[in-house]
Amino acid sequence: MTNRNINGVIVPLLTPINSDESVNYVYLDNLIEYVIQGGVDAIFAMGTTGEFARFDKDTRGKVAAHICKKANGRLPVYVGVSDCGTRQVIEHVKRAELAGADAVACSLPYYFPISENEAYDFFKDIAMSTSLPVILYNIPVACGKSISFSLLEKLLHIDNIVGIKDSSGDKQYFSGIIEICRKRRADFKVLVGTEDMIYYGLTSGADGIVPSLANPFPRLLAELYKSSLAGDYEKLKYHCDLVNKINKINSMSDSWMFTNLWRKRALELMGITNSCFTKPYTPVNDILEKEIKAVIEQYQKQFL
Q: What are the pLDDT digits (tens) for 99-142? A: 999 999 999 999 999 999 999 999 999 999 999 999 999 999 99
CATH number of the domain that residue 122 is part of:
3.20.20.70
pLDDT given for residue 220 in this prediction: 98
Flag whether 211 is in a domain: yes
Let me know the angle formed at the C-alpha of 248 by 243 and 252, rounded to the nearest 5 degrees.
Answer: 150
Please report which confidence band the pLDDT of residue 187 belongs to, taking 50, 70 and 90 as the band edges. Answer: very high
Q: How many other C-beta atoms lie within 10 A of the C-beta of residue 77? A: 28
Please report which confidence band the pLDDT of residue 4 belongs to, taking 50, 70 and 90 as the band edges. Answer: low
**CB contact at 8 A, 122 and 155:** no
Provide, rounded to the nearest whole percent, the portion of the chain with pLDDT above 70. Answer: 99
Please report which confidence band the pLDDT of residue 272 belongs to, taking 50, 70 and 90 as the band edges. Answer: very high
Flag whether 37 is in a domain: yes
pLDDT tens-place string over residues 206-226:
999 999 999 999 999 999 999
Q: The domain containing residue 100 runs over which residues?
A: 3-232
Per-residue pLDDT for 40 more than 70? yes
Q: Write the DSSP assignment of 4-55 as a string of letters.
A: GG--EEEEE----B-TTS-B-HHHHHHHHHHHHHTT-SEEEESSTTTTGGGS
Residues facing 192 on adjacent strands: 166, 209
Flag whether 238 is in a domain: no
Per-residue pLDDT for 197 more than 60? yes
- What integer is the mean pLDDT of 12-25? 98
Flag whether 248 is in a domain: no
pLDDT given for residue 5 in this prediction: 80
Q: Which helix (H) or strand (E) holds 70?
A: helix 57-71
Among the options 27, 34, 78, 137, which is catalytic?
137
- pTM recorded for the entire structure: 0.97
Among the options 15, 27, 34, 48, which is catalytic?
48
pLDDT given for residue 3 in this prediction: 54
Flag whether 100 is in a domain: yes
- What integer is the mean pLDDT of 40-62? 98
Flag whether 133 is in a domain: yes
Distances (CA, A) of 275 to 16, 56, 284: 7, 20, 10
Does the active-site annotation cover 301?
no
Flag whether 288 is in a domain: no
Quick one: 56 exposed, middle or buried, by C-beta within 10 A (0-12, 13-18, 19+)?
exposed
Flag whether 217 is in a domain: yes
Does the active-site annotation cover 165?
yes
- Based on the structure, what is the number of domains in the chain? 1
Among the options 2, 57, 69, 111, which is catalytic?
111
Among the options 15, 165, 264, 299, which is catalytic?
165
Q: Write the DSSP assignment of 148-215 as a string of letters.
A: -HHHHHHHTTSTTEEEEEE-S--HHHHHHHHHHHHHH-TT-EEEE-SGGGHHHHHHTT-SEE--GGGT
Does the active-site annotation cover 238?
no
- Average pLDDT over all residues of the chain: 97
CA distance 198 to 204: 10
Does the active-site annotation cover 78?
no
